[in-house]
Structure 1
Amino acid sequence: MSLLKAAGSAGPAIWDDSEMLECVAVIPEAPNVATFCFQAPSGALFDYLPGQFLTLELPVSGGPLYRTYTISSSPSRPTSISVTVKAQEGSLGTRWMLDHLQPGMRIKALGPAGVFSHHVHPSDKYLFISAGSGITPMMSMVTYMFDQGSEPDAVLINCATRPSEIIFRDRLEHMASRVPGLDLKFVVETNDRFKVWTGFQGRFNQLMLGLMAPDYLEREVFCCGPEPFMQAVREALAELGFDMNRYHQESFQAPAATEQEVPELDDVVPDETESAEIYFLHSDVRAKCTETDTVLNAARSAGLNIPSGCTFGVCGTCKVRKTAGEVHMVHSGGISEDDIEDGYILACCSHPIGKIEVEV
């Protein structure tokens, strides 16, 4: 799909990957994060869909290294193209870029490609959910919406470790201040030492989602970030009854170039037509239920009492130990990873898959 041609442009040539890209600017964004801006030496314009990616050929020691990065710029600004990269522990390509790639250098690039774009999945209302550098395709799509001049209906949620690590924060806040239809939300895990944070804090969860985007069931959802984060988002949406056909994600590891390459999600989702059984070990009681029943509700139906509080997976009051079987648990921070490793679950938000056994 060509945005420039669709707009009726018959001006300068359109860049293709037979021409190298020239780095024209390096912009620091956050610790170990920078935006690299490129132009075509020939003066050609860039035509792509917001949310697509480039594959860069990086001349690292020992031979070229190919790394794929989402384009963070917007095709509404076609004289340049940018990628924003974050170096993780042990990264080679991104580390080389941060240490060596400077204005004036030229590199080979392949693309653009990809189907993670609101142009591929059009809707009247959008919800963008990202973590860390997963903000990059969202930045491209939101900038495109901003540049169109009409007011979008989009909620953008970005999660980061701390406020200083929120990528594009100033630019996003500027756009949101100018366009009321762009609703911006940030979530951080911890404060910065010398700067007060008054927004959402903790692990992104269902309760936050309901507060940030109460009409999430009506929105087309785009998600990008580390796989554990995206899995948590998928589970939260599925648990809340969201139509997962309207959920789209882009992986850090394997972005899809075509619709056929988009992997099918194989998450475990409780099925109301599938039967389950819970053995309450200390009470010597067996309860039959379905996979969509919670352990807490099954216990109550069997005449057993599990202490509980919020029933949303926040308070941790209903924590019990599972000694056998598998559950599908979507909690909101009320249990630690160490407890989960030790076999504990929250009864209020755990669904039995098949037969399980708990110490109740």
Structure 2
Amino acid sequence: MDTSAFAGGAPYPTLAQVWDPEADDALVCLDVHQETHDVKSFTFASVAGKQFDVRAGQYFLFTFPAGGEDDSRCYSVSSSPLRRNAFSITVKRVAGGRMSNWLHDTMQPGMSVTAQGPLGTFIRPAGAAQKYLLLSGGSGITPVMSMVRELADSYEQADVAFVHAGRAPADLIFRHELSGLAARLKTLRLHFLPEQLGNEPSWPGLTGRISLDYLRLAVPDLAERVILCCGPQPFMAAARKIAAEAGVPAHRYIEESFDAAVIDADVVTPIQAPAETIYAVQFSKQARSIDVSAEQTVLSCAKKAGIRIPSSCANGMCGTCKSKLVSGSVNMVHNGGIRQREIDAGFFLPCCSKPTSDLVIDR
């Protein structure tokens, strides 16, 4: 038998190359899908046809040419990591959000973008007990949806309770898909918690916000589970407090390090007390100059002065604030949000960099 051909004589495809996070960045949009009235999913593939090695819960740092000027945002992968030829992100339109509005209004199949990743450590811990509580609020559902889709694709027999909160039933992202998965996966228990009824007065379940009483009712064995939580900062703060009150050990409560994994607003970081050594930091495009001490980060002082730099995690992880350093030097302690070749090209992360000389930044 001739094994060199199949399906009408076409040759077997060669083994696809794997996307290299250190070298690859070119993506093409394959599909745009409306999830809810203000949420869309965007599916991307490698321009070179490479496969992706992503872990459920990770994200990509995208650079988009919005408004004639490149800008960057982090978006979590919402698709199953086992489907390696492409991946999806799911984005909620934010009122006044520059990038979310640009994506919703502009992105179409066939358009090209660049992205760095996969990045992030919001992943299921290795060797953990196979009992999980996935807890999400609003668009924070995206990384945990990737986890659920992975479990469904792999037929992993993990005991999963999934609690997703939203503003109203119409705002519950992936509502119908999750209901279908829960009907098929015998080990998945699904709970939706809209804060209000909205236009669905016949909603059959509870409404309100997460609380210790609610989670004990929905997930009686809460304290025995590994909790993975993602959502807006107030939601995660409430979840963290509830988990502690329920007796969940700290090492079994894991949350995303930035707000809902979808960054479209400025985050102000605390300003440390000025130190004796002060450096002049110029932002060339904004024609602004500020003083930054050797003990302060560039981003913290820029935010206080009203200088616009996109940012999110503030700890050198996501790379959202990446900027070009025209001159000067900094002490940068990052957590994977920038690649070595970018550092070699003169880029740095203002959120985790303290000046060691006067600086000129291309912002």
Question: How far apart in 2 are the matches of 1:257 and 1:216?
Answer: 30
Which residue in the other structure is 2:140 paired with? Answer: 134
Tell me whether 1:242 sits opposite 2:265 in the alignment. no
CA contact (8 A) 1:38 1:82 kept: yes
Question: How far apart in 1 are the matches of 2:56 and 2:127?
Answer: 12
Query: Which letter maps to 2:214?
Result: M
Question: How far apart in 1 are the matches of 2:113 and 2:129?
Answer: 36
User: Residues 115 and 209 of structure 1: is their aligned pair in 2 closer, same or farther, counting only changes over 3 Å?
Assistant: same
Q: Which moved more, 1:246-255 or 1:106-115?
A: 246-255
Tell me whether 1:55 sits opposite 2:61 in the alignment. yes
Of 12, 16, 26 in structure 2, the residue corresponding to residue 12 of structure 1 is 16
Tell me whether 1:146 sits opposite 2:152 in the alignment. yes
- Secondary structure of residue in 2 paired with 1:110: strand
Of 27, 33, 42 in structure 1, the residue corresponding to residue 33 of structure 2 is 27
- Secondary structure of residue in 2 paired with 1:65: strand
Query: Which letter maps to 1:48?
Result: V
Question: How far apart in 1 are the matches of 2:81 and 2:53?
Answer: 6
Question: How far apart in 2 are the matches of 1:47 and 1:150?
Answer: 19
- Please state how far the C-alpha of 1:194 moved relative to its aligned partner: 4.5
Q: Which runs of 4+ in 1 moved over 6 A?
A: none
- Please state how far the C-alpha of 1:121 moved relative to its aligned partner: 6.9
- Secondary structure of residue in 2 paired with 1:207: helix
- Please state how far the C-alpha of 1:16 moved relative to its aligned partner: 3.1
Unaligned 5+ segments in structure 2 are 1-13, 260-311, 320-333, 337-363
Query: Which letter maps to 1:16?
Result: D
- Secondary structure of residue in 1 paired with 2:15: coil
Residues 215-294 of structure 1 aligned to structure 2 (within 5 Å): 215-250=221-256, 251-252=258-259, 253-254=312-313, 256=317, 261=335
Identity of aligned residues (%): 36
- Please state how far the C-alpha of 1:150 moved relative to its aligned partner: 3.1
Cα deviation 1:62-87 (Å, max 9, x = unaligned): 41000001110111111111100112
Tell me whether 1:80 sits opposite 2:86 in the alignment. yes
Question: How far apart in 2 are the matches of 1:190 and 1:111?
Answer: 37
Tell me whether 1:177 sits opposite 2:161 in the alignment. no
Which residue in the other structure is 1:109 paired with? Answer: 115
Question: How far apart in 1 are the matches of 2:253 and 2:71?
Answer: 32
Query: Which letter maps to 1:125?
Result: K
Question: How far apart in 2 are the matches of 1:171 and 1:101?
Answer: 24
Which residue in the other structure is 2:278 paired with? Answer: none
- Please state how far the C-alpha of 1:19 moved relative to its aligned partner: 4.1
Which residue in the other structure is 2:286 paired with? Answer: none
Question: How far apart in 1 are the matches of 2:15 and 2:184?
Answer: 30
Question: How far apart in 2 are the matches of 1:201 and 1:109?
Answer: 38
- Please state how far the C-alpha of 1:123 moved relative to its aligned partner: 2.9
CA contact (8 A) 1:115 1:257 kept: no
CA contact (8 A) 1:48 1:112 kept: yes
Unaligned 5+ segments in structure 1 are 1-9, 263-360
CA contact (8 A) 1:54 1:112 kept: yes
TM-score if structure 1 supplies the norm length?
0.67
Of 69, 81, 89 in structure 1, the residue corresponding to residue 75 of structure 2 is 69
**How many aligned residue pairs are there?**
252
Question: How far apart in 1 are the matches of 2:195 and 2:205?
Answer: 11
Query: Which letter maps to 2:122?
Result: F
Question: How far apart in 2 are the matches of 1:261 and 1:211?
Answer: 38
Query: Which letter maps to 1:203?
Result: R
Larger radius of gyration: 1
Question: How far apart in 2 are the matches of 1:180 and 1:144?
Answer: 15
User: Residues 175 and 194 of structure 1: is their aligned pair in 2 closer, same or farther, counting only changes over 3 Å?
Assistant: closer
Query: Which letter maps to 2:50?
Result: A
Tell me whether 1:187 sits opposite 2:167 in the alignment. no
Which residue in the other structure is 1:41 paired with? Answer: 47
Higher RCO, Cα 8 Å, sep 6+: 2
- Please state how far the C-alpha of 1:38 moved relative to its aligned partner: 0.7
CA contact (8 A) 1:70 1:136 kept: yes
Question: How far apart in 2 are the matches of 1:142 and 1:136?
Answer: 10
Query: Which letter maps to 1:36?
Result: F
CA contact (8 A) 1:69 1:85 kept: yes
Question: How far apart in 1 are the matches of 2:150 and 2:200?
Answer: 34
- Secondary structure of residue in 2 paired with 1:130: strand
Query: Which letter maps to 1:66?
Result: S
Which residue in the other structure is 2:217 paired with? Answer: 211
User: Residues 120 and 98 of structure 1: is their aligned pair in 2 closer, same or farther, counting only changes over 3 Å?
Assistant: farther
- Please state how far the C-alpha of 1:241 moved relative to its aligned partner: 2.1
Query: Which letter maps to 1:115?
Result: T
